[in-house]
């Protein structure tokens, strides 16, 4: 099964496409869609970044042809409420692109992803990067952390989908 994991963001959206088979999973492609570069002196309008995300994501979906797309579920932290709003904008574009292609969608909460990959739902960014490095047999931890998060989302989704009693939503299905 080919699973694309997406870690949504309005500055950086991480992605990781894997093939999940018995034994060690294999990375097909992983990276980030950068919507704001460090050299940007002015902040681009959200609408411009969302249009760029849509274009880049559609190209990615066509290129990697996933069987399932897994997206991090929306969450809010009391110290950073605006993050949930920004992430919601990016998630909307991502979910629409998935729906337009009639791809299977899984949404996973960060706690579930962390628990699946590290065994601990409160794992920190560096722990996630180290776990992904080990699980995929990489020479170094994936950077930036958005890539490791996207690969973790893909792996957790693949593990959940391969379990006998977990439904995967299919657009237009019952």
Whether the CB-CB separation of 146 and 16 falls below 8 Å is answered with: no
Beta-bridge partners for 25 = none
**Whether 72 is catalytic:** yes
Query: SS3 of 164, please?
Result: coil
Q: Are the beta carbons of 168 and 68 closer than 8 angstroms?
A: yes
Tell me which of 7, 107, 112, 149 is the catalytic residue: 7
Beta-bridge partners for 7: 14
Selecting among 42, 112, 146, 149, the annotated active-site residue is 146
Catalytic residue among 72, 107, 126, 149: 72
Distance, CA of 46 to CA of 43 (rounded, Å): 9
In this structure, are residues 89 and 10 in contact, taking their beta carbons and an 8 Å threshold?
yes
Are 68 and 110 in contact, with CB atoms under 8 Å apart? no
Instruction: Report, as residue numbers or ranges, the catalytic residues.
Output: 7, 72, 146
């Amino acid at each position: 099964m080919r699973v694309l994991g997406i870690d949504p963001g309005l500055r950086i959206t991480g992605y990781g496409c894997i093939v999940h088979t018995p034994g060690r999973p294999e990375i097909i492609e992983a990276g980030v869609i950068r919507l704001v570069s460090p050299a940007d002196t002015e902040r681009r309008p959200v609408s411009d970044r969302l249009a760029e995300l849509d274009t880049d994501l559609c190209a990615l979906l066509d290129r990697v042809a996933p069987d399932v797309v897994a997206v991090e579920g929306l969450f809010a932290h009391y110290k950073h409420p605006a993050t949930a709003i920004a992430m919601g904008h990016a998630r909307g574009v991502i979910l629409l692109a998935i729906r337009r292609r009639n791809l299977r969608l899984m949404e996973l909460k960060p706690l579930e992803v962390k628990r699946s990959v590290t065994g601990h739902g409160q794992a920190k960014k560096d722990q996630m990067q180290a776990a992904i490095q080990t699980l995929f047999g990489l020479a170094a931890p994936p950077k930036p952390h958005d890539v490791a998060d996207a690969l973790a989302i893909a792996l957790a989704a693949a593990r959940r989908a391969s379990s006998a009693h977990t439904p995967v939503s299919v657009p237009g299905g019952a």
